[in-house]
Amino acid sequence: MAARSIASLSLSFGLVSIPVRLFSATESSSTVRFNLLAADGTRVKQQYVSEKDQSVVERKEMVKGYEFEKDRFVVFTADELKALEEGARHTIDIVAFIPTEAVDPLYYDKAYFLAPDKRGGKPYALLMEAMRASGRCALAKWAWKTKQYVVQVRVAEDGLVLQQLLYADEVRSIRDLEIEAVAVAPAELKLALQLIDQISQDEYDPTQFVDEEKARVLAEIDRKIAGQQIVAAERSTSVEVGGSNVIDLMEALRASLGGKPSKVKAVPAEATLAPSLVAAMPTKERKPIRRVAKVDEALPVRTRARK
């Protein structure tokens, strides 16, 4: 299925305005969802009730409000909220160019793809090649859905990525943990560097990895479907250094160096099942997760009731 753009924007580069289209760069992997049921196995549903008289409030009767004082709200209608969103400028304004590696990944938030829109191909290609040649990325301001973001625009393969960045007050400092400084012996460092060298790779290949925990849960679901009991997962056999179980750090490093480095391979969910269970697995696709939008605190309290 062809990707669908989220919005049409304008990337401002000096006096040049580049028409671009915005696409989501990521999607959440469908997690295993368990439904809430009554004791007799029937479904339950959620309802919103008024704190005042406990009456059920239908969604069409709800409004959103901002609490400016304790239990005091200023109310916005759907049209007013839409007007606030449409009031934002649909531009990405570049304010500086910095080295590509200058942004700590700790500040990374959601990522998007930028593609050239009509008549934007030439200036888009020019900006991309200029950033690639200079080894720099762009810092820009972007207003989107009633919030202004600081974003990074960088070159990735054959296009541009727009990366939302967190503000300074949204990122905690690791210094707040007051981690104790511990001296490391040269011999220990030498062995640790040998271990790093032994299992080093030149690049990151995301296809090497799969969600093993999700595969394990799905395998147990299939066991249930096949009428078998859940099997407890095996515990890790790795040895912890420190705490109550203290072992010699040098011996642990030497033992690690003695083992051969293992290649990371993607493991399909079926590989965790016995052959007989693989044959019994249902062939129909599992339903995707339906995302429920967050509701403002001003909305009525929700309770659960049976259908």
User: Domain check: are 167 and 229 in the same one?
Assistant: no
User: Domain check: are 258 and 226 in the same one?
Assistant: yes
User: Domain check: are 20 and 107 in the same one?
Assistant: yes
pLDDT for the residue 226: 84
User: Domain check: are 193 and 227 in the same one?
Assistant: yes
pLDDT for the residue 246: 44
User: Domain check: are 233 and 268 in the same one?
Assistant: yes
Which run of H or of E encompasses 218?
helix 212-225
Is residue 55 situated within a structural domain? no
The structure's pTM equals 0.63
Is residue 46 situated within a structural domain? no
Nearest to 153 by CA among 169, 170, 167, 136: 136
User: Domain check: are 147 and 219 in the same one?
Assistant: no
Note whether 231 and 277 are within 8 A (CB).
no
User: Domain check: are 103 and 194 in the same one?
Assistant: no
pLDDT for the residue 299: 46
Which residue is associated with the tokens 């008024």? 50
| Contacts of residue 36, Cβ cutoff 8 Å, sequence gap at least 6 | 43, 44, 304
pLDDT for the residue 111: 95
Q: Which domain holds residue 114?
A: 7-29+84-172
Is residue 224 situated within a structural domain? yes
User: Domain check: are 167 and 115 in the same one?
Assistant: yes
Which run of H or of E encompasses 49?
strand 44-49
Taking only the tens of pLDDT, the chain with its 307 residues reads 567 888 899 998 888 889 999 999 987 766 788 888 888 889 998 889 988 898 998 888 888 998 989 989 999 888 888 777 766 678 899 999 999 899 999 999 999 999 999 989 999 999 999 999 999 999 999 988 778 899 999 999 899 999 999 999 999 999 999 999 999 999 989 989 988 998 888 888 888 888 888 888 888 888 888 887 766 666 655 555 554 444 577 787 778 777 655 555 544 544 444 444 444 444 444 444 444 444 444 445 454 444 4
pLDDT for the residue 172: 93
Note whether 167 and 148 are within 8 A (CB).
no
pLDDT for the residue 241: 58
User: Domain check: are 107 and 19 in the same one?
Assistant: yes
pLDDT for the residue 51: 87
User: Domain check: are 150 and 244 in the same one?
Assistant: no
Q: What is the CATH number of the domain that holds 22?
A: 2.40.290.10
User: Domain check: are 223 and 166 in the same one?
Assistant: no
Radius of gyration of the chain (CA): 27
pLDDT for the residue 11: 93
Number of structural domains the chain divides into: 2
d(CA 130, CA 128): 6
pLDDT for the residue 289: 41
User: Domain check: are 98 and 161 in the same one?
Assistant: yes
Note whether 114 and 20 are within 8 A (CB).
yes
Among left, alpha and beta (phi > 0; psi -120 to 50; other), residue 73 is: beta
Is residue 284 situated within a structural domain? no
Is residue 109 situated within a structural domain? yes
Is residue 248 situated within a structural domain? yes
